[in-house]
A and B are shown apart, each in its own frame.
Chain A
Amino acid sequence: MNLDYLFDAAHWEFGTSGSIPQLLLSHLWYVVLALAIGTVIALPIGLYIGHTGRGSFIAINAGNAGRSLPTLGLLMLMVTLLGLGLLPVLIALTVLVIPPILTSAYAGLRSLDQRVVDAARGVGMRPWQVLTRVELPMALPVLMSGFRSAALQVVATATVAAAVGLGGLGRLLIDGLAVNDYSRVLAGAIVVAVLAVLLDLVLAFAQRWIVSPGLRVSR
């Protein structure tokens, strides 16, 4: 076990298929797509439940229910049903990111001081305005922490895509294992962990940028 594979310049050439940058890019592509689709699905539902308080049972339990679905099994199920392609991976990974986003959207709204929401109504805001101008901005810190944990999870889990013949950084793990090249497995693990840390940093900066300065003090 050594770092030879990681530091071999030949494995960093962008043009070669299967090179680290290419795998990194396809990995990131799975991650971004899954997060985007997951957010589009989970955010409105979470906000709706948080705003209205209806169906909070779903929001509270969605987190653990989603986590309990074994991603590898789901992925193999999907590939068996749909064949080789991007779609089965996206389905399996999206299922993974929905629960934390949904739960945090709900928890973010519920954690607000009800007096603030009442005040917003009091000054004549419509429900939609209350949601977009008061509740959502104030819930952002909690929401972002849910989004960040979803991102971390999906970066590490997207590696299983390689187990069903697809790309991403998991290739380094699966192929390294299959050809008995631990240096390659190690390279894969390191790149995945670094990617996770970098992505989390980026999201942390994004959070600073979009969260109102007035809300920072309490954090």
Chain B
Amino acid sequence: MINYLQNNSDAVLTALRQHIWLALLPVVLGFLIALPIGYLGVRFPWLYHPLVNVAGVLYSIPSLALFVFLPVVLGTKILSPLNIVVALTIYTVALLARTVADGLRSVDHLITESATAMGYRRFRRLIDVELPVALPVILAGLRVATVSNISLVSVGALIGVGGLGQLFTRGFQLFYLEPILVGVILSVLLAGVADLIIVIIQRAVTPWTRFQGGRA
């Protein structure tokens, strides 16, 4: 395996870089889109259940199908990385919109009422009070979305754009274990590192959660 890495370091690095891009850009985009949608699900409670259901259906569309259809819908070229980015953004939104809504719903009424009493208007209260209190829940969802995106990117290799997934298909076409193993290991490592980064961010921005004992 070391041998394979030495001989193919360029190809592996290119695949890894592409993988990082394709997986993480959708996390950021999806997060930004999911925030307002999740908020709407709380602001207008009748929206919550339709939102959860639509998200569930979106999430059950096989990724390969989405990769194939997006060019038709968006008018992009069939090998455009944009197709992967948009598809994974959709999954991220489907996952996070619900998490954001759940996170905001979990905020204690006493907290919001105190904030109102202190003179917070709705928007400021949302940004300064409710979202920070909901952050642990939202970030937990973000971890899930990030890790599953990193795993899903490789399916793109079936249509020629798949970051580390290219190593899977290359190895599979030769029944050659090394590239597949390298791809799987790098993909898992990447997910681990990304997950760790979010955990570190979470610890830094929500110090109060550390004092509540080990409750998961």
Q: Interface residues, chain A, CB within 8 Å of chain B?
A: 1, 56, 60, 63-65, 67-74, 76-77, 79-81, 107, 110, 152, 155-157, 159-160, 163-164, 170, 173-174, 176-177, 182, 185-186, 188-189, 192-193, 196-197, 200
Given A156-B62, A159-B62, A173-B64, CB of A200 within 8 Å of CB of B191: no
Q: Interface residues, chain B, CB within 8 Å of chain A?
A: 56-57, 59-66, 68-69, 72, 143-144, 147-148, 150-152, 154-155, 157-159, 164-165, 167-169, 171-172, 175-177, 180-181, 183-184, 187-188, 191-192, 195, 214-216
Which among A56, A156, A188 is the interface contact of B59 at CB below 8 angstroms? Answer: A156
* Cα-based distance from A197 to B61 in the complex (angstroms): 10
Residues of B within 8 Å of A156, CB to CB, are 59-63
Least Cβ–Cβ distance between B22 and chain A, in angstroms: 13
Please tell me if the beta carbons of B60 and A155 are within 8 angstroms of each other in the complex: yes
Please tell me if the beta carbons of B147 and A80 are within 8 angstroms of each other in the complex: no
Residues of A within 8 Å of B169, CB to CB, are 76
Please tell me if the beta carbons of A67 and B147 are within 8 angstroms of each other in the complex: yes
Please tell me if the beta carbons of A196 and B216 are within 8 angstroms of each other in the complex: no
Which among A65, A157, A189 is the interface contact of B65 at CB below 8 angstroms? Answer: A189
Please tell me if the beta carbons of A73 and B165 are within 8 angstroms of each other in the complex: yes
Q: Interface on chain A toward B: helix, strand, loop, or mixed SS?
A: helix
Residues of A within 8 Å of B150, CB to CB, are 68, 70
Least Cβ–Cβ distance between B20 and chain A, in angstroms: 14
* Cα-based distance from A177 to B67 in the complex (angstroms): 11
Which among B59, B68, B147, B157 is the interface contact of A173 at CB below 8 angstroms? Answer: B68
Please tell me if the beta carbons of A73 and B168 are within 8 angstroms of each other in the complex: yes
Please tell me if the beta carbons of B65 and A68 are within 8 angstroms of each other in the complex: no
